[in-house]
Amino acid sequence: MEERKRIGELLLEAGVISADQLSEALAEQLRSGGRLCYNLIRLGHMKADDLVGFLRDQFGVAAVNLERYQVPEAVLRLIPATFARERRVVPLHVLGNALTVALLDPSRADDIAAIREITGLEPEPVICPEAALEAALLRFYPLGISVVTSGEGVLELDEEWDARNAALPDEPAVLSAEDWLRRFILQAVRRRSREIHLEASEAGLRARYRVRGVLQDGDTAPPELRRCISRRFLSIAGIPAATSGFAPGEGRFRIHVRGRWLRATLSAFPTLFGERLVIKIVDESLLAREFQELGMSKDVADEAQRLLACRHGVLLVNAPPGQGRRTTFYSMLAHLKGEGGRNIMTLESPVRFPIAGVSQSQVGGAAGLDFVAGLKSILHQEPDVVGLTDVPDRATLEMVFAAGRRCLVVALFGFRDNQQALEWIRDAGVSAATMGLLLRGVLAQRLLPKICSACREPLAEPVRLIEGIRGRESDELAFYTGGGCEQCGGTGRAGRVAIFELLSFREDLRDRLLHGDPSQVLLEEAQRLGMWSLREDGILKASQGLVDIREVLEATAADGSIPG
């Protein structure tokens, strides 16, 4: 309204119209709607060409005749049809970072800003008479081909789109930015990849998918859609567009594909040709899984559940990033939630996976919360369980143990093995008395590729272990591998399995911890008392045909408890 009024006054000042004509047009606008300029023209107070001429002079922008103008498909697709029709804008061409766009009224700053946000390009307006623009809209954006997006952080990959996408030729030029968005996600789902990397380069936006730890090449979206695609991803993930240039950011969205809900987190990092995006996908059905399904043996799962039943103390999940510790963390929270009756709160950096019934907060977000300040505040909320996705420093560690006196703290550690974790806690100055009193357990884990069950076969060359496990000689153990088949794309692997080592401080071991025994002694004693080391758990799972023994030995090479 403000803009409309302003342009009326400008026309008045310039002597294009009279004061009476302006009030008449304003009254008409109130009565029958439409733009002021349109009403002025309709009432015969000025000609469409007068308006174009005036705007051109006033805003220093060119006028354009769209009648014979041809706009490349790729440029049209920069602006969604619904938006183009609603705001009456037509993109014309892209030159470098600039998008020339035809519109009715260059004084409408919100339209310009919206185009900037949608396309990631700097709009250069040119003006065009209304009738010609309407005709161009009909020509370029015929009704019925608009790509509807929810804009609510949900990416719908419905059957219809799926079918249409399958029918589309693999010709990148015909794909819109919206199509690319879905194509990237769907390809990840098809490849069973949980991690998509989108890298902006001169050649365009290249997708790579992490499958079984390795990045596989995917398609490259053309350079003119580069920014548009990444801006759309940012917008879906709720990351505000930076006012100037790029800014790093993290957000999340949900994906609905073939009746399944997936959670996705998006991390954006500025690079020379635009944001580099990493999208991680989590299957929501994972949460419902019991510990055994994470690959925990019954003994380990039982013990973990016993530890989670503690009313206070500290339980650590310890593994380098990328070893599935977040999945374990969320499964534990889901398990605790299932028990009911507990106030569960988390501090995460960032929240990867919203769980209903758990109060999750993000550290380092707009609120500027850090782990120490966050933990202090959370304790006022009388939590029964607090989950932390990181213990970045000594101050946080101190707070973790302080909180452990009042509730159960489940925290993620990133050390290679449990011995390192224990040593770090000691080196950070936590006393033996505090550790003995509060440290309930440390769970180490590794992810290993799972042998494809369709092509599993005995390992041809024997692997000799110096020791067997649990009274079984190495000779008695059979090992397996995957020969490669159609189902696993010839890799012999499908999915992943975790191996665990749960160091639980009960009775005897707790006394030793209180006494301040060296961590290596503690671990040896734990094994004597029945703890399975990472390597033993791996050997067991290899003998069950779940994983390849060679990959177990490699993943646990530094473990040292049984020499390979």
For the chain, the helix, strand and coil percentages under 3-state DSSP, each to the nearest 5: 40, 25, 35
Binding range to Zn ion, per CB under 5 A, among 66-74, 256-264, 479-487, 541-549: 479-487
Q: How many angstroms separate the CA atoms of 142 and 7, rounded? A: 30
Structure tokens at 409: 């703290």
Q: Nearer to Zn ion by C-beta: 80 or 492?
A: 492
| Piece in contact with Zn ion (CB under 5 A), picked from 138-146, 397-405, 438-446, 484-492 | 484-492
The whole-angstrom separation of Cα 475 and Cα 463 is 9
Which C-beta is closer to Zn ion: that of 238 or that of 495?
495
Structure tokens belonging to residue 97: 């970072």
CA dihedral of 78, 82, 87, 89, whole degrees rounded to 10: 40
Which of residues 53 and 483 has its CB atom nearest to Zn ion in the complex?
483
Contacts of 537 (CB under 8 A, 6+ apart): 297, 300, 499, 500, 501
Residues 253-282 that bind Zn ion (CB under 5 A): none
Site for Zn ion in 438-477 (CB under 5 A): 452, 454-455
Minimum distance between the CB of residue 489 and Zn ion, rounded to whole angstroms? 8
CB nearer to Zn ion: give 488 or 513: 488
Report the residue number, 455 or 553, with the smaller CB distance to Zn ion: 455
Closest CA to 310 of 380, 402, 404: 404
Nearest distance, CB of residue 450 and Zn ion, angstroms: 10
Least Å distance, CB 544 to Zn ion, is: 17
Complex with Zn ion: residue 120 or 492, whichever CB lies closer: 492
Closest-approach residue to Zn ion (CB): 452
Residues between 333 and 352 that touch Zn ion (CB under 5 A): none
CB contact burial 65-86 (16+ within 10 A = b; e otherwise) = ebeebebeebbbbbbbbebbbe
The reply on whether position 546 binds Zn ion by CB under 5 A is: no
Kindly tell me which residue out of 12, 437, 485, 514 binds Zn ion, with binding defined by CB under 5 A: 485
- The smaller minimum CB distance to Zn ion, of residues 58 and 491, is found at 491
| Rounded least distance, CB 218 to Zn ion, Å | 22
> 362-421: which residues touch Zn ion (CB under 5 A)?
none
Pairing of strands 195-201, 274-283: antiparallel
Nearer to Zn ion, 150 or 487 (CB): 487
Integer Cα distance of 153 and 233 in angstroms: 9
Tell me the closest approach of the beta carbon of residue 467 to Zn ion, in angstroms: 31
Tell me the C-alpha distance between 119 and 509, whole Å. Answer: 61
Facing residues of 198 across strands? Answer: 207, 277
SS (H, E, C) 497-543: EEEEEEEECCHHHHHHHHHCCCHHHHHHHHHHCCCCCHHHHHHHHHH
Shortest distance (Å) from residue 493 CB to Zn ion: 8
d(CA 501, CA 513): 18
Among the candidate windows 63-71, 224-232, 486-494, 495-503, which touches Zn ion by CB under 5 A?
A: 486-494
Nearer to Zn ion, 8 or 492 (CB): 492
Contact with Zn ion (CB under 5 A) among 277, 488, 509, 513:
488
CB contact burial 205-231 (16+ within 10 A = b; e otherwise): bbbbbbbbeeeeebbbbbbbbbbbbbb
> Closest approach of Cβ 545 to Zn ion, in Å?
13
- Minimal distance, residue 453 CB to Zn ion, in Å: 8
Least distance (Å) between residue 192 CB and Zn ion: 13
Residues that bind Zn ion (CB under 5 A): 452, 454-455, 485, 487-488
